[in-house]
Amino acid sequence: MIEINSAFVTEPRATYARLRSQGPVHRATAPDGTSIWLVTRYADVRAALADPRLSLDKKNSGGGYRGFSLPPALDANLLNMDAPEHARLRASSARRSLRAGSSRCVPGSSRSPTSCWTP
What is the reported pLDDT for 104? Answer: 56
Spell out the residues 6+ positions from residue 36 whose beta carbon is closer than 8 angstroms to its own: 4, 27, 28, 29, 30
What is the reported pLDDT for 28? Answer: 93
> The pTM is what?
0.60
Per-residue pLDDT tens over the stretch 33-80: 888 889 999 999 999 988 988 888 877 877 766 666 678 788 778 888
Per-residue pLDDT tens over the stretch 98-115: 766 555 555 555 555 555
What is the reported pLDDT for 116? Answer: 56
- Domain-by-domain residue ranges, the chain? 1-54, 56-103
What is the reported pLDDT for 111? Answer: 53
Q: Is 91 helix (H, G, I), strand (E, B) or coil?
A: helix
